[in-house]
Amino acid sequence: MYQLNKVDKKFPGVHALKAVDFKIGRGEIVGLVGENGAGKSTLMKVIYGAYQPDSGTVTIDGKAVRFQNPRQAMDHGIGMVFQEQSLITNLTVMENIFLGFEQQFVRFGVINWTAMAKAARHQLRKVKLDIDPSTVTSKLSFAQRQLVELAKVLTLEERIDGDLVILLDEPTSVLAKEEVELLFSLVRELTSRASFIFVSHRMDEVLELSDRIYVMKDGEVVDVVEHGQANIDAIQHKMVGREVDKQYYREQKQHPYDSGKTLVRFDRVSVAGKYRDVSFDLHPGEVLCLVGTEGSGREAVLRTIFGLERPSTGAVAIKGNPFHRATAQEAVARGVGYVPRERKVEGIVNGMNVYENMTLSQMGKYASHGVLRIREEKALAENWIKRLSIKTPDVYKDCGGLSGGNQQKVVLAKWRSGGSDIFLLDHPTRGLDIGAKEDVYDMIREMCDDGAGIVLVADTLEEAIGLSHTILVLKDGEIQKRFDGSPGGKPSPFDLVHHMI
C-alpha cells in the first residue's frame, strides 16, 4: 500500500539515505531499528513529509505522491506521533485534538464547543481514554498525553479517504511496564483502522509488536526480518557490525593510565531526574567513556563535573578536594575544560576572533589589573595555530567562519593552553569529516600522554570502544556495567548494546 522505492537523501557531507526501499501493507505494524545516526529519523521525516527525497519515489496504492510539507502528508493519511510530545500543554484536550482543524465546528465565526467536545469524545474512545475533553492537557499524565496525541492523529480517519499510516517515534521510552502493555494492545486493536511504523530503541518491544522489522545502518536498510524469524542477537549484529580499524582510533598510541592518582571522584552521586548513584574514578592518562542512549544521563554527568548541574546527593571531588558550591568558574579554576556538543553555540563564540576565543576561559592570565595584554594573546594563538595546524588565515579571523574541525581545535586549544588536565568531551567529532576526526583522536592520545584525564561521550559505539580505557554503560540514569577497554581486550559494540537497551 505505502511504498518507498530507492529513496535517496543527501545533506552537505552526509549521505543520509542510500536507495532505501520500504513498504507497509494495510493493517501492518512495521518496526524500524538502528543506531543513532543510522538514518531512522531522516527516513521518518521523508515519510511524514518534513523532508523531500532527492531521488526515488513514494507511492500510495501504486500512485506516485510528493509531499511538500507534513500537512500534505496528513492529507494522504500519514500521521506522526512525536517522541517529544507536540501537544500544547495549556490548551484543553479537545483544542489539541482539533488544533488547526477547528473550522468544522465554527458557526458564525464562533466555535461550537459542545460539538467539538462530542467529536473529541469520539476520538478519545478510539484510544480507550476516558477523560473529559475539556481537561487542560498539563493535568494529564505522560501516558495519557501520548494517547491524546494518538487520538489527534486518528482524526485523520474521518478527514480523509483511504488508508492511514501512523508513525510512532519511541513511544515507550518514558512509559512504565503496564502502560507499555496497554499501548501495545491498543495498537494491535487499532490495526483495523490504520497501519503503524514503530521506532524504538528497545529491541524486545520491537520484536514483540512488529510484523516485519527494517534494520538500518549508515543510511541503508541492511536487513528486513519477518516476525517469526526475528532474533535479537542477529539484529543487533546487523545494526552495529562493521570492522573497527584499530589504526583509525589510534589504539597503538593508547598507553596504560596512572591508577595511583585520582583526578575526579564520583561517590554515589545523584542528580534528581537525571541519574542515580553514579560512582567512578578518573585517573591521569585515562579516557573514560560514558555510553548510553539519549537521555540515559551521560551528558548530565559531564555537566555535573563542570558545575552546571548540582548533585542532589553524593559527593564529587576534583583532585581530592570536594566540590561544595558547584559553579563553572570553580571547575575551570580547578583545571576542568568542557568541549560541548553544540560547538557553534557553546564551544566557540561566533563573532569573536581566534585569539579572543582561545583566551576566553583564562583572560586573567593575559591581563594586568584587568587590562589585557593583547600581544601575548596573539602570540599564544599563533603558537597553538601552529601546534594543532589550525587552518585560519590569521589570528583575526572570526571563529564562526572556520570549518567545524578547526573550530573544535580552537576549543581544545582554549582548554589545553590554559593548563586544563580534566577534559569533558561531549560528542567531540560530531559533524566533522574523517580527516578532522582523526586529528581529534590524535589530540586525545596526546592529552593522555600529558597526564590529562578525559571523560568522553562519543558519537558512535565504535568510537567509544576504540578510544577508551574504561567504558561505563548507562541506562535510564544508572550504571549498568563497567568494561575495561585496554588494547587487545576491548569489548565489541554488541557487548555494549546488550546493556544499553
Partner 1 sequence: MSIENLKPYFPWITLAVLVLLVGALNPSFLNPASLVQLVADIVPLFIMALGMTFAIYIGGIDLSMQQVANLVTVVATVYLVQYGIFVAFLCIGAGFVIGAASGWITTRQFVPSFVATLAMGFIALSGARFLSGERALSMNADARDASFGWMFGNTVGIPHELVIAGLLLALAWFLQSRTTFGRALKAVGSGELAAVASGLKVDQIKILAFALSGTFAAIAGLMFSVKLSGGDANLANGFLILAIVAVLVGGTPLTGGVGGVINTLVGTLIVVVIRSAMVYLEVDATMQQMIFGVILIVAIAMTIDRSKMRIVK
What is the closest distance, in whole angstroms, from the C-beta atom of residue 229 to partner 1 in the complex? Answer: 47
Q: CB-wise, 284 or 418, nearer to partner 1?
A: 418
Residue 145 and residue 151: Cα distance in Å, rounded? 10
Picking from 327, 330, 329, 326, the residue whose alpha carbon sits closest to that of residue 316 is 326
Sequence-distant (≥ 6) Cβ neighbours of residue 84 within 8 angstroms? none
Nearer Cβ to partner 1 (93/331)? 331
Q: How far apart are CA 360 and CA 381, in angstroms?
A: 12
d(CA 425, CA 415): 11
Residues 6+ apart with CB under 8 A from 499: 473, 475, 480, 481
Q: Least separation, in Å, of the C-beta of 84 and partner 1?
A: 16
Closer CB to partner 1, 114 or 368, in the complex:
368
Q: CA 78, CA 44: separation in Å to the nearest integer?
A: 11
In the bound state with partner 1, the residue whose beta carbon lies nearer, of 340 and 453, is 340
Measured from the CB atom, the residue of 64 and 333 that comes closer to partner 1 is: 333
Q: Grid coordinates standing for 413? A: 586549544
Min CB(429)–partner 1 separation in Å: 18
- Residue 362: CB minimum distance to partner 1, A: 9
Nearer to partner 1, 149 or 377 (CB): 377
Q: Is the Cβ of residue 250 or residue 334 nearer to partner 1 in the bound state?
A: 334
Q: Which is nearer to partner 1, 174 or 349 (CB)?
A: 349
Least distance to partner 1 from the beta carbon of 374, Å?
8
Q: For residues 191 and 403, which CB has a smaller minimum distance to partner 1 in the complex?
A: 403
**Residues 6 or more apart whose Cβ sits within 8 Å of residue 414:** 337, 357, 358, 359, 360, 361, 362
Yes or no: say if 351 and 337 are a contact pair by the CB < 8 Å rule. no
CB of 328 to partner 1, least distance (A): 4
Q: What share of the chain is helix, strand, coil (3-state, %, to 5)?
A: 35, 25, 35
How far is it, in rounded angstroms, from Cα 457 to Cα 455?
A: 7
Tell me how far apart the alpha carbons of residues 374 and 385 are, in angstroms, rounded to a whole number. Answer: 16
Closer residue to partner 1, CB minimum distance, 90 or 229: 90
Q: Which residues contact 369 (CB under 8 A, 6 or more apart)?
A: none
Please state the closest distance from residue 417 (CB atom) to partner 1, in A: 13
Cell 563542570 belongs to: 306
Nearer to partner 1, 32 or 336 (CB): 336
Q: Minimum Å distance from CB 457 to partner 1?
A: 15
CB 88 to partner 1: min, Å: 15
* Cβ atoms within 10 Å, residue 20: 23
Q: Is the dihedral of CA 176, 459, 40, 226 positive or negative?
A: negative
Q: In what order do the strands lie in the sheet with 470-475?
A: 336-339, 422-426, 453-457, 287-291, 470-475, 478-484
Which of 321, 289, 295 shows the shortest CA–CA distance to 462?
289
Q: Are the C-beta atoms of 183 and 172 separated by less than 8 Å?
A: yes
Give the footprint of partner 1 on this chain (CB under 8 A): 306, 308, 328-329, 331-333, 338, 340, 342, 345-352, 356, 360-361, 363-364, 367, 370-372, 374, 414
| Minimum distance, C-beta of residue 269 to partner 1, in the bound complex (Å) | 21
- 189 φ, ψ to 5°? -65, -40
Shortest gap between Cβ of 338 and partner 1 (angstroms)?
5
